[in-house]
């Protein structure tokens, strides 16, 4: 993709530099802050900030208002005329496009209302429009901006895609020649590694570009996508190219988000709210939330857990549905069905808690009525062939005319074909003609094995590695309405469209990804739209108008500090430059989760002003001895974050991954905020000759004042006893306690050392005189020793040193302005 994007924009620059500088301006279009001029060649000649007079068009670059593609060749307008509110663009081969223009206070709209030879036009392209802005490039939202001014493009209907047709799958290419830095900018790099993909805006040499396009979907086409080299995109009737519409706007940088909201309202785009405020400006769009399983008979416990954590959103993550497709509720979780779930929602609402649930978008389980006993013909297909010869109900080999859609095994998870009303699974395809499906299992998924005549259509079904089938566009829309009806009937207020990329099965690319949430949203009641949180693991230019946030980060593979940490933090720059709430993803609380690990995450949440999802089932919370303290800390940190009570300097410090922080409640309005210096070392069991010391010596630099040593000691793969700690070769303490494997010894500012089991249940405490056990500021040495009870080579003891640094007062900001000291 690197070669395509570079070649494309080099071509634009070179072609632009060859153009004569004598084109006449034929149309001026203005808003209250922005002017766009169009010349007699149908190109944008100026992008002007009316306040300063600065022109942001990238000079010597091609900037066609609209281009067309015919026979895979892009054609640019050769002349243009204007007539009141329309522009007439002339292309070669007698192609004429008529574009309606409209000037509004905040933006200018362009809509294709007519084009000749429309059946031969494969697609139209709005732009690319090159600008001289480089500082911040919002690739998804389609906005580029510097310190003073922002210029943006908005697709005004779902069929107009933010981006450029780099490939036939309508898949966004990677930002493979640019990288982010900590200031959210884009810069060239050489290694090609990136996080996010180009869409409505992208960096180019000396500036940026804005672009959108619309594909003619009245013709079936073959393309590569979803793990298949050849897949058929079926005809889709969305009115074709006519009606494709965009907005261009320019405004003061500080007014960009409000301008986007005004465009949504003016153009009838989705505009979801939270308690009467636009979701994009309401801080609760990025609120942390609790994920836990619950049933009708214990929902009160889940609600109480949510309240203890100081959170307002409870997300069901059990077996909500017994199938995906029809979204029938699981009777084990909700034996009273819709009414049972509705009562759960109402009980939560009585306590100020909103309930949501998880959805795997257009995934269809094999037990769903769309699959069995009679499969729906709208299940997505890779492609089709015909049967050669009659097939009886017992045949285990089926002859087909062509193998091309059946022998693609890379993403062939269920190996299922559809003939009439029968599903058949097959083992493989013969390697040479006559082409045959081999080792067929007839009447799969409780369909009926039947006879089939020669010449009947046989279709390879598209599937996913979750062992599910997918949908065509019509079935996607039907499922969306079904899901919306569930929300309307129960009052659910939060949804996560997981697996949204599955909707590429529609053959519509990113259009398909937006289609499901778009139909779902438009099918919701107005009451639900007034308080709604929508998240997903990915987004698109158009989906930005529907969703509240992107939230993804799997917690299953490691602890808080190890599971996809770099990915979670790097996401934040992407969110910021695309006007999205910060979110850190999912974190899983276990019985072993420590207060220190939880505060590490909570400080990062505050530093990035990013919400998160806490996965914590009721049993886990009961098992963790720190639960009460952890839940109280979650509520306190979240209250301070949402109210914007931390200063920017404090937030910057908390974003430093080498630092840790803690808060200590003074009263309902004030907290002590402390930086913690932490260093973790490991003492290993050693084999030495007689007389050789077995202790480990650790050097560390205390950046704080002189203070008493705080520590956490954990026994791993063994029992240990005889623990000694000696500071700076003269102050020695002996801890008369045996640690069983997995147990933890912790000391924090008192005259007691506490022994915990691995779940942080206190076992016992011992009095100890640590008054003279102080650490100097600056360099220190610690000698650590213990006795290991067995010769396990993996036996070790972990020592974590924790020292307090500066302490500051943080005051709760009830007015949502910074008042921290």
What would the pLDDT profile of 51-76 be if each residue is shown by its tens digit?
999 999 999 899 999 999 999 999 99
Angle, CA of 640, 645 and 647, to the nearest 5°? 130
Measured between alpha carbons, how far is 448 from 416 in angstroms, rounded to an integer?
14
User: Coil, strand, or helix at residue 811?
Assistant: strand
**Which range has the worst mean pLDDT, 265-279, 371-385, 705-719?**
705-719
Task: Report whether 468 contacts 364 (CB < 8 A).
Answer: yes
CA distance 492 to 22: 60
- Cα distance between residue 480 and residue 503, in whole Å: 11
pLDDT confidence of 20, banded at 50, 70, 90?
very low
Residue 342, token pair as written in the block: 């509705």
**pLDDT reading at 10 higher than 70:** no
SS3 332: coil
State pTM to two decimals: 0.91
Mean pLDDT of the 723-749 span: 90
Q: 452-462 in b/e burial notation, b at 16+ Cβ within 10 A?
A: beeeeebbbbb
Query: pLDDT for 684-703, tens place per residue?
Result: 887 765 555 788 998 988 88
* Helix H or strand E segment including 263: helix 256-267
Distance CA 466, CA 661 (A): 40
> Average pLDDT, stretch 267-277?
96
Q: Is 151 exposed, middle or buried (0-12, 13-18, 19+ CB in 10 A)?
A: buried
Residue 479 φ/ψ, nearest 5 degrees: -65, -35
Residues 106, 47: Cα–Cα separation, whole Å: 14
Give me the phi and psi of 756, to 5 degrees please.
Answer: -120, 155
Who's near 799: CB < 8 A, 6+ residues apart? Answer: 680, 681, 682, 683, 698, 711, 712, 713, 782, 784
Q: 141-162 pLDDT, tens per residue?
A: 999 999 999 999 999 999 999 9
Q: What is the mean pLDDT of residues 481-492?
A: 98
Say which residues have a Cβ less than 8 Å from residue 73's Cβ, sequence separation at least 6. Answer: none
Alpha helices in 56-152 (DSSP H): none
Q: Where are the alpha helices (DSSP H) in 116-231?
A: none
pLDDT above 90: residue 450: yes
Q: CA 467, 468, 470 angle in degrees (round to 5)?
A: 145
Examine the pLDDT at 357 and tell me if it is beyond 50. yes
What is the chain's percent helix, strand, coil content, to nearest 5?
20, 35, 45
| 697-725 residue pLDDT tens | 989 888 888 888 899 999 998 999 999 99
Percentage of the chain exceeding pLDDT 70: 91
Convert 388-420 into a string of H (helix), E (strand) and C (coil): CCCECCCCCCEEECCCCCCCCCCCCCCCEEEEC
Across 541-566, average pLDDT: 80
- Which of 551, 481, 478 lies closest to 315 in space, CA to CA? 551
Instruction: Quick: pLDDT tens for 29-51.
Output: 999 999 999 999 999 999 999 99
User: What is the CB neighbour count within 10 angstroms for residue 672?
Assistant: 13
Q: How far apart are the first and last CA of the chain?
A: 49
pLDDT band for position 185 (cuts 50, 70, 90): very low
d(CA 484, CA 523): 6
Q: In the prediction, which pLDDT does 563 show? A: 63
Q: Which residue has the tokens 């939880």?
A: 598
Measured CA to CA, the distance from residue 56 to residue 44 in angstroms comes to 11
Mean pLDDT of 116-141: 96
User: pLDDT confidence of 772, banded at 50, 70, 90?
Assistant: low
Which tokens is 231 given? 């897949």
Tell me: pLDDT of 558 over 90: no
Instruction: Calculate what percentage of the chain has a pLDDT beyond 90.
Output: 79
Backbone angles phi, psi at 188, to 5 degrees: -60, 150
Between helices 510-522 and 473-490, what is the axis angle to 10°? Answer: 30
- pLDDT, position 9: 47
Confidence tier at 732 by pLDDT (50, 70, 90): confident
pLDDT band at 369 (very low <50, low <70, confident <90, very high): very high
Average pLDDT, integer, range 510-527: 97
Place of tokens 């094999």: 366
| Tokens encoding 677 | 């210096």
Cα-based angle 637, 643, 644 (whole degrees, multiple of 5): 90
Predicted confidence at residue 775, as pLDDT, reads 87
Residue with tokens 């000691």: 713
Residue 457, beta-bridge partner list: 386
Q: Is-contact 74 15, C-beta < 8 A?
A: no
Number of CB atoms found within 10 A of residue 94's CB = 8
Spatial distance between the Cα atoms of 361 and 111, rounded to a whole number of angstroms:
31
- Check residue 821 and give its pLDDT: 31
């Amino acid at each position: 993709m690197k070669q395509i994007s570079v070649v494309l924009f080099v071509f634009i620059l070179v072609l632009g530099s060859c153009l004569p500088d004598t084109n006449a301006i034929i149309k001026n279009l203005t808003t209250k802050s922005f002017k766009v001029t169009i010349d007699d060649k149908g190109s944008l000649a100026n992008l002007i900030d009316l306040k300063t007079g600065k022109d942001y068009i990238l000079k010597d670059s091609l900037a066609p208002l609209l281009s067309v593609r015919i026979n895979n060749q892009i054609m640019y307008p050769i002349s243009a005329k204007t007539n009141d509110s329309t522009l007439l663009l002339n292309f070669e081969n007698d192609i004429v496009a008529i574009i309606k223009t409209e000037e509004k206070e905040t933006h200018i709209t362009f809509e294709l209302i007519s084009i000749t030879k429309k059946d031969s036009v494969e697609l139209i392209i709005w732009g690319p429009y090159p600008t001289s802005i480089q500082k911040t490039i919002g690739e998804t939202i389609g906005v580029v901006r510097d310190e003073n001014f922002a210029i943006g493009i908005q697709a005004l209907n779902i069929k107009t895609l933010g981006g450029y047709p780099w490939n036939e799958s309508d898949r966004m290419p990677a930002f493979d020649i640019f990288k982010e830095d900590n200031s959210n900018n884009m810069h060239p790099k050489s290694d090609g590694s990136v996080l996010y993909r180009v869409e409505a805006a992208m960096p180019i040499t000396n500036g940026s570009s804005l672009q959108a396009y619309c594909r003619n979907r009245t013709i079936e086409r073959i393309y590569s996508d979803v793990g298949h080299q050849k897949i058929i995109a079926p005809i889709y009737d969305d009115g074709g190219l006519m009606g494709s519409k965009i907005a261009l706007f320019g405004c003061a940088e500080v007014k960009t988000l409000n301008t986007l909201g005004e465009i949504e309202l003016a153009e009838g785009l989705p505009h979801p709210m939270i308690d009467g405020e636009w979701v994009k400006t309401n801080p609760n769009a990025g609120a942390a939330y609790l994920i836990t399983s619950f049933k009708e008979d214990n929902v009160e416990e889940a609600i109480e857990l949510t309240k203890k954590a100081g959170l307002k959103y409870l997300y069901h993550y059990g077996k909500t549905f017994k199938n995906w497709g029809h979204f029938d509720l699981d009777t084990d979780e909700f034996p009273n069905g819709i009414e049972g779930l509705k009562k759960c929602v109402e009980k939560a609402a009585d306590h100020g808690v909103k309930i949501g649930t998880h959805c795997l978008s257009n995934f269809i389980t094999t037990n769903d009525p769309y699959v069995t006993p009679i499969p729906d013909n709208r299940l997505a297909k890779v492609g089709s062939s015909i049967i050669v010869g009659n097939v009886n109900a017992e045949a285990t080999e089926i002859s087909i005319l062509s193998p091309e859609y059946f022998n693609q095994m890379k993403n062939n998870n269920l190996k299922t074909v559809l003939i009439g009303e029968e599903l058949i699974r097959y083992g493989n395809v013969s390697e040479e003609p006559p082409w045959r499906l081999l080792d067929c299992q007839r009447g799969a998924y409780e369909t009926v094995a039947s006879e089939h005549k020669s010449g009947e259509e046989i279709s390879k079904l598209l599937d996913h590695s979750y062992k599910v089938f997918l949908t065509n566009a019509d079935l996607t829309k039907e499922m969306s309405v079904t899901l919306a009806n569930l929300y309307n009937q129960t009052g659910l207020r939060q949804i996560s469209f997981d697996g949204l990329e599955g909707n590429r099965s529609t053959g519509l690319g990113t259009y398909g990804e937006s289609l499901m949430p778009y139909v779902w949203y438009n099918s919701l009641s107005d009451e639900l739209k007034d308080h709604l949180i929508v998240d997903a693991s990915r987004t698109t230019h158009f989906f930005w108008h529907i969703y509240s946030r992107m939230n993804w980060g799997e917690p299953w593979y490691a602890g808080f500090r190890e599971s996809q940490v770099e990915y979670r933090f790097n996401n934040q720059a992407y969110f910021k430059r695309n006007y999205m709430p910060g979110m850190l993803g999912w974190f899983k609380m276990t019985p072993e989760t420590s207060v220190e690990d939880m505060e590490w995450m909570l400080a990062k949440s505050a530093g990035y002003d990013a919400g998160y999802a806490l996965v914590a089932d009721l049993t886990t919370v009961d098992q963790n001895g720190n639960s009460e303290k952890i839940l109280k800390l979650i509520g306190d940190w979240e209250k301070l974050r949402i109210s914007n009570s931390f200063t920017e300097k404090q937030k910057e410090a908390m974003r430093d991954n080498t630092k840790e922080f803690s808060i200590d409640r003074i009263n309902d309005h004030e907290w002590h905020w402390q930086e913690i210096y932490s260093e973790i070392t490991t003492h290993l069991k050693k084999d030495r000759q007689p007389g050789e010391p077995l202790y480990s010596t650790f050097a560390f630099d205390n950046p704080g004042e002189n203070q008493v040593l705080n520590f956490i000691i954990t026994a791993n793969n063994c029992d240990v006893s005889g623990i000694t700690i000696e500071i700076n070769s003269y102050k020695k303490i002996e801890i008369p306690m045996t640690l069983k494997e997995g147990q933890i010894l912790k000391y924090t500012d008192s005259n007691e050392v506490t022994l915990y089991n691995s779940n942080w249940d206190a076992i016992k405490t011992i009095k100890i005189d640590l008054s003279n056990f102080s650490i100097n500021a600056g360099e220190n040495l610690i000698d650590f020793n213990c006795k290991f009870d067995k010769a396990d080579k993996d036996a070790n003891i972990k020592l974590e040193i924790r020292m307090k640094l500066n302490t500051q007062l943080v005051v709760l900001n009830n007015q949502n302005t910074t008042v921290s000291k």
